[in-house]
Structure formats: structure tokens, C-alpha cells
């Protein structure tokens, strides 16, 4: 997960570009939180934005955006992140209901699901991310005296390293059902790294487990160079997502999981915009048109 954005020391130890994208999503969640028709609430999100000087002038409410929802970045793109948060929140809570009590967030970023969601008793939430991200997150949440609603287990390790050993050492039990989430992560990984990650999740899970992840259809990403949301993100806050995303061939991870016996479903974000009555709808030259949300379950015998 490499990028070329200028270095910002605010999120120490994190690749600057990917660190800023975590703050971008936090700002989007803050905006969503304060909407009258909010799909997801994260009362901690705006505090991450305010704690990072690089983001001092970013909005945390739609009323702070001159063009409001007409703004491609803080309107449409932020609404996308709000919708994604809600859909994946629902997936996690639905998936732990049958009895899984281990939740693994791959590339957890600045999300606060361990604090936001009403987890069943006995849940453990493992947050895997780089040490710098988790340290920044810990500092902000400690200053807020935030209390998690599940046993939160930070796992400071780079996903390019031996994260499996770090996770099992932290208390993860592969013999017990688990629920996994890779939100906004796979776009940055080369195809073989995505395949390795998905294969590893398969190896570390037992029947009754579940996995959700966000994928992108294989297409020349540079075709979206002039897409409104990528242009606005580049020009307004200096994050060039197309420089950060891996542009190599993409694997069919959903198909690979199906071949391994998982039950999988693949959805466009627009399906959920229609379901909830809020969120982005298709536009011409739409950078979101290739995004797919994949939900997979490992059946019980």
C-alpha cells in the first residue's frame, strides 16, 4: 500500500498516502454522523480529523461544504463511505448473531466498530493495521475516554508482514468461528497479495465463519482519471487515489471462495443506495461503477 502523497507526521509510521485516506474516510463518517438522515453514526470520527493538523480545514458536517451534496468529494463520495459503513456494520452484526465471537478487521484504519456497535457478550474485535495508525487511534480515543463495547485487541502489524502469527499470538483461535472484514483495503494490494490474503482467511476459518470485502472489477483505472470524485479528491485534498490503487490484474476472489465451498454474493453499492433510499446512484464516467461488495459465508456441515 504505497503512495506518493507528501509526508504528514500527524499519523506517525504510516505511509502518508494511505494514512490520509484513513482520515478521508473518518471525515466522511463524521459528515454522515451529523446528517439528519444518517445511515451510520461514528461520534469519534471528527476527533480523528481534528487531531491531525494536515486535515485542519476539512469539513466534518455537510453544512461546512459550500456546495453541500453537490460537492463530488464531501457530498457524493462521502455519502458512499457512509453507505459502505452502514452496509458492512449490518453484515458484521448479522454474521456474529449465530455464534461467532471473533471479529477480525483487516486494515482496520480509524474505524471504531469496537466502540460503535452493540456486540453480543463475549465478542473480541481484532484490529490489524500498521503500528502508526493504531497508535494515533489509541491516542485520540484515550483522550476521549472512549470505552469499547467488546474486547478490543489491537494487532500492530503490516499486512505485508507475518500478520498471521501476530493475530494468533494476540489470542485469535482458528478453530472457532470468526467474522472477517477487509474494508477499503484490497484496491491497494497487488493481485497476488489479494489472493494470498483471501486464501489465508480461508485457511484460518472454520465452518460458521464469514468474510466481507470490497473489490474492484478489472478495468484500466486510468480511464477514470477525469472522474468527478477522483478529480475532486486530488484537487481539494491532494490525495491521488489512482496513484495509490494497484493497477495490475485483479483476481476473482469471489469466484475463488465459491470454488473453496463458500457461499458468496456480489453486489454493487448502488443496490444498497436504492435499498436505503440514500447514497450514490450511477453517473457518467463513474469511478464507483466498478466497485463491488462481496459477502461470503463458510457453511456449517
Output the pLDDT for position 167: 98
**Given pLDDT bands bounded at 50, 70 and 90, which one contains residue 219?**
confident
Task: Look at residue 3 and tell me if it is in a domain.
Answer: no
Taking the C-alpha atoms of residue 232 and residue 286, their distance in angstroms, rounded to an integer, is: 13
Task: Of 126-130, 144-148, 172-176, 222-226, give the lowest mean pLDDT range.
Answer: 222-226
Question: Considering the domain boundaries, does residue 11 fall inside one?
Answer: no
pLDDT given for residue 301 in this prediction: 75
16, 250, 270 from 225: Cα distances, Å? 21, 19, 21
Average pLDDT of 95-119? Answer: 97
Calculated CA dihedral for residues 126, 80, 18, 158, nearest 10 degrees: 20
Q: In this structure, what CATH number is given to the domain that contains residue 30?
A: 3.40.50.150
pLDDT at 270 over 70: yes
pLDDT in tens, 147-198: 999 999 999 999 989 999 999 999 999 999 999 999 999 999 999 999 999 9
Tell whether 7 is covered by a domain: no
Least confident of 36-45, 208-217, 218-227, 231-240: 218-227
Q: What is the pLDDT of residue 151?
A: 98
Please give the DSSP secondary-structure letter assigned to residue 249.
P
Give the C-alpha separation, 82 to 56, whole Å. Answer: 21
- Alpha carbon distance 170, 103 (integer Å): 13
Residue 24 lies inside a defined structural domain of this protein:
yes
5-31, pLDDT tens digit by residue? 323 334 443 344 558 999 999 999 999
Domain count, the chain: 1
Per DSSP (E only), the strands in the chain are: 102-106, 124-129, 151-156, 178-182, 210-216, 263-267, 291-297
| Residue/partner pairs of 89-96 with CB below 8 Å, 24 or more apart | 89/40, 89/113, 89/116, 89/117, 91/181, 91/210, 91/212, 91/295, 92/117, 92/179, 92/181, 92/212, 93/117, 93/118, 93/119, 95/179, 95/210, 95/212, 95/297, 96/120, 96/123, 96/179
Pull the grid cell for residue 192.
Answer: 497476488
Question: Is there a domain that residue 46 lies in?
Answer: yes
Digit-coded pLDDT (tens) for 33-58: 999 999 999 999 999 999 998 898 99
Residue 5 lies in a domain: no
For residue 266, being part of any structural domain is answered with yes
- What local confidence, expressed as pLDDT, does residue 247 receive? 87
The whole-number pLDDT of residue 19 equals: 84
* Residue 253 and residue 294 in contact, taking contact as beta carbons nearer than 8 Å: yes
Share the mean pLDDT of the chain.
92
Residue 18 confidence (pLDDT): 52
Q: What is the pLDDT of residues 64-92, one digit of tens each?
A: 999 999 999 999 999 999 999 999 999 99
**Confidence band for 274, pLDDT divided at 50, 70 and 90:** very high
For the chain, percent of residues with pLDDT exceeding 70: 94
In terms of residue numbers, what domain contains 129? 16-297
In a domain, 4, yes or no: no
Amino acid at each position: 500500500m504505497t503512495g506518493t502523497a507528501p509526508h504528514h507526521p500527524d499519523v506517525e509510521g504510516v505511509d502518508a498516502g494511505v494514512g490520509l485516506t484513513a482520515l478521508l474516510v473518518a471525515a466522511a463518517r463524521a459528515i454522515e454522523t451529523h446528517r439528519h438522515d444518517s445511515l451510520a453514526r461514528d461520534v469519534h470520527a471528527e476527533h480523528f480529523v481534528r487531531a491531525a493538523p494536515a486535515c485542519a480545514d476539512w469539513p466534518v458536517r455537510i453544512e461546512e461544504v459550500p456546495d453541500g451534496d453537490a460537492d463530488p468529494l464531501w457530498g457524493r463520495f462521502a455519502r458512499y463511505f457512509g453507505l459502505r459503513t452502514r452496509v458492512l456494520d449490518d453484515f458484521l452484526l448479522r454474521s456474529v448473531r449465530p455464534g461467532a465471537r471473533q471479529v477480525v478487521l483487516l486494515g482496520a484504519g480509524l474505524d471504531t466498530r469496537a466502540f460503535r456497535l452493540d456486540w453480543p457478550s463475549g465478542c473480541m474485535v481484532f484490529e490489524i493495521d500498521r503500528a502508526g495508525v493504531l497508535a494515533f487511534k489509541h491516542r485520540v480515543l484515550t483522550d476521549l475516554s472512549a470505552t469499547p463495547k467488546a474486547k478490543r485487541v489491537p494487532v500492530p502489524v503490516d499486512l505485508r508482514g507475518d500478520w498471521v502469527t501476530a493475530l494468533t499470538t494476540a489470542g485469535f483461535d482458528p478453530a472457532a468461528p470468526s467474522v472477517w472484514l477487509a474494508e477499503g483495503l484490497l484496491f491497494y494490494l497487488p493481485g497476488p497479495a489479494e489472493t494470498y490474503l483471501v486464501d489465508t482467511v480461508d485457511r484460518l476459518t472454520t465452518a460458521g465463519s464469514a468474510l466481507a470485502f470490497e473489490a474492484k472489477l478489472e478495468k484500466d483505472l486510468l480511464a477514470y482519471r477525469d472522474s468527478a470524485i477522483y478529480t475532486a479528491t486530488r484537487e481539494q485534498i491532494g490525495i491521488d487515489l489512482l496513484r495509490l490503487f494497484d493497477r495490475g490484474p485483479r483476481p476473482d476472489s469471489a469466484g475463488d471462495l465459491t470454488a473453496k465451498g463458500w457461499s458468496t454474493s456480489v453486489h454493487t453499492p448502488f443496490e444498497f443506495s436504492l435499498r436505503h433510499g440514500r447514497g450514490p446512484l450511477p453517473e457518467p464516467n463513474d469511478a464507483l461503477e466498478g466497485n463491488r461488495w462481496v459477502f461470503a459465508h463458510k457453511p456449517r456441515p
